């Protein structure tokens, strides 16, 4: 591309609200690249519940491992993971937790997972529309139980969201999703789903795979309680 055309194109990435001639919001696309640099998470709807397994990717011996959750509790029936900028994710996580508690205080019942992901997605969309701000550099994976029905949602950089049977966010997400399309079955139990996810991580990460770096949170649809496993505890499951 000629230098003068490069300079002209560069002007369209100075703000999140300016479309390029090709119809792209360049700051949003840059943020999507940031998400793909983040550590991976896999979520899956199973016959007996739902789970999220996340690569914490923490290797520094000085960090207290118990202080570095990658899967967060939003309410008794909802969990959340993210890929991208952790500080951006923290703001959205705190908003989700606040929404869940406000709903309990107001209606004396747990909030539906879709109401959480919809509200978060609306906020993310606003930051692609107004000048003077930048998009949230984070994708959100939210899993929960509505009644007795397990649900999984993902909200992308643009503020769009969909419901999934299984999906992945973060590093190597496309490779992971290809493996899930091949091997995922709707009758999988939580145990079989976790094993499949670990097998996929092991295949993709190769020599870098270490089960000690992983964290699992799952919710049984009957008990509707969050259970958390880390490292060697995952093998016992």
Q: What is the pLDDT of residue 219?
A: 97
Q: What is the pLDDT of residue 66?
A: 72
Domain ranges in the chain? 39-236
Q: From first to last of its 237 residues, what are the pLDDT tens digits of the chain?
A: 455 545 455 566 777 677 877 887 888 888 899 999 999 999 999 999 999 999 988 777 787 777 778 999 999 999 999 999 999 999 999 999 999 999 999 999 999 999 999 999 999 999 988 878 889 999 999 999 999 999 999 999 999 999 999 999 999 999 999 999 999 998 999 999 999 999 999 999 999 898 988 999 999 999 899 999 987 888 877
Q: What is the pLDDT of residue 9?
A: 54
Sheet hosting strand 226-230, strand order edge to edge: 166-169, 41-46, 49-55, 214-220, 226-230
Continuous segment of H or E residues that includes residue 21: none
The superfamily CATH assigns to domain 39-236 is Aminohydrolase, N-terminal nucleophile (Ntn) domain (3.60.20.10)
Q: What is the pLDDT of residue 69?
A: 84
What whole-number distance in Å separates Cα of residue 196 and Cα of residue 39? Answer: 18
Q: Are 20 and 27 in contact, with CB atoms under 8 Å apart?
A: no
Give me the helices (H) in the chain, please. Answer: 3-10, 26-35, 86-107, 113-126, 173-183, 190-205, 232-236
Q: Are 76 and 226 in contact, with CB atoms under 8 Å apart?
A: yes
211: which DSSP letter? G
Percent of the chain as helix, strand, coil, to the nearest 5: 40, 25, 30
Distances (CA, A) of 215 to 24, 106, 139, 148: 36, 33, 18, 24
Q: What is the pLDDT of residue 142?
A: 98
What pTM, to 2 d.p., does this model score?
A: 0.90
Q: Are 166 and 180 in contact, with CB atoms under 8 Å apart?
A: yes
141 φ, ψ (degrees, to nearest 5): -110, 120
Q: What is the pLDDT of residue 218?
A: 97
Return the bridge partners of 45, or none. 50
């Amino acid at each position: 591309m000629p230098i003068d055309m490069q300079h002209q194109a560069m002007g369209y990435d100075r703000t999140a609200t300016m479309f390029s001639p090709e119809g792209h919001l360049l700051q949003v696309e840059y943020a999507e690249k940031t998400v793909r640099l983040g550590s991976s998470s896999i979520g899956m709807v199973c016959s007996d519940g739902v789970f999220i397994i996340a690569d914490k990717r923490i290797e520094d011996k000085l960090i207290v491992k118990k202080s570095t959750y990658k899967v967060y509790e939003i309410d008794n029936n909802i969990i959340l993971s993210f890929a991208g900028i952790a500080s951006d994710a923290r703001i959205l996580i705190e908003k989700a937790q606040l929404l869940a508690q406000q709903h309990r205080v107001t209606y004396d019942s747990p909030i539906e997972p879709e109401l959480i992901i919809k509200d978060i997605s609306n906020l993310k969309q606003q930051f692609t529309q107004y000048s003077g701000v930048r998009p949230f550099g984070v994708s959100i994976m939210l899993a929960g139980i509505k009644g007795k029905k397990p649900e999984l949602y993902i909200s992308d950089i643009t503020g769009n969201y969909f419901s999934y049977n299984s999906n992945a966010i973060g590093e190597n997400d496309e490779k992971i999703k290809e493996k899930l399309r091949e091997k995922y079955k709707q009758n999988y139990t939580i145990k079989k789903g976790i094993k499949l996810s670990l097998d996929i991580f092991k295949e993709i990460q190769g020599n870098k795979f270490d089960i000690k770096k992983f964290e699992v949170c799952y919710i049984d649809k009957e008990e509707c309680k969050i259970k958390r496993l880390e490292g060697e505890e995952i093998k016992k499951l």
